[in-house]
Structure 1
Amino acid sequence: MYPKLAKAYPTNKLPDLRGEFIRGWDDGRGIDAGREILSFQEGTIVSGFDDNDTGDISSLSSTQYGFGDTLSSNQWGAINGKKWIFDASSKGAQKYDWWAYVSARPRNIAFNYIV
């Protein structure tokens, strides 16, 4: 009746998905490479760098410590990928650090959304 569905699920039985998180099957896209349809993936801790302009400010006693480059204006400056603010009154600079994140990816099953 549904040949593509029968090909994807040759046992004519759909998996029991109760209590599972469904993750769309990659099917060669490269986002979740190596996963087979209906394969399980254990829960994992995922960390990374979100680059979303949130973070904290720390001070630097001299503008000469800006990774070898000196800041000379009262504005944001980027030095070697870090953001710095130069304060002419104190002759110091402040560094803006980005937050990294840690999150959990739940146990999941690769599922084809044709169903």
Structure 2
Amino acid sequence: MPNIVMDEWSDMVFLKPNGASFSAVEYPKLAKVWTGLVIPEMRGEFLRIWDDGRGVDSGRALLSAQGDAMREISGRLFGVMTTSTSQSTTDAWVDGPFKATIASGAGAATTTGYRYDADFKVSRVVSTASEFRTRNIAFNFLVRAK
């Protein structure tokens, strides 16, 4: 805690925002901010600095939660037949997260052209992980109580 490291802060008390309750008698000023006498649970959450009129995240109230989101990812598949067996020609028929591959085996070729298959992988256009998340830094956030 900073009050242990910095001598000039030795009379201050800091609490972790871990959902714990606190005493209004022991921390009367904090009780004016959090009248329910519970420090918000913020462990594992991405903290976003309040917009305060800047316009980047307007309309948000202090301590309001916001669900996760991801940008729209889209791609187009322009057709399913080609007269070329060239992979570069086939690639011209898709974009974004799609990848086209000339089909092979039974049913791959017809009298009018070649079938190609397309698959969709978000990782072709954005970084992926086992979870949705914002870029962040793990930071131990404290609340000054006294």
Tell me the TM-score normalized by structure 1. Answer: 0.38
The structure that is strand-richer by fraction is 1
Largest Rg, 1 or 2: 2
- Structure with higher RCO (Cα < 8 A, 6+ apart): 1
Higher helix share: 2
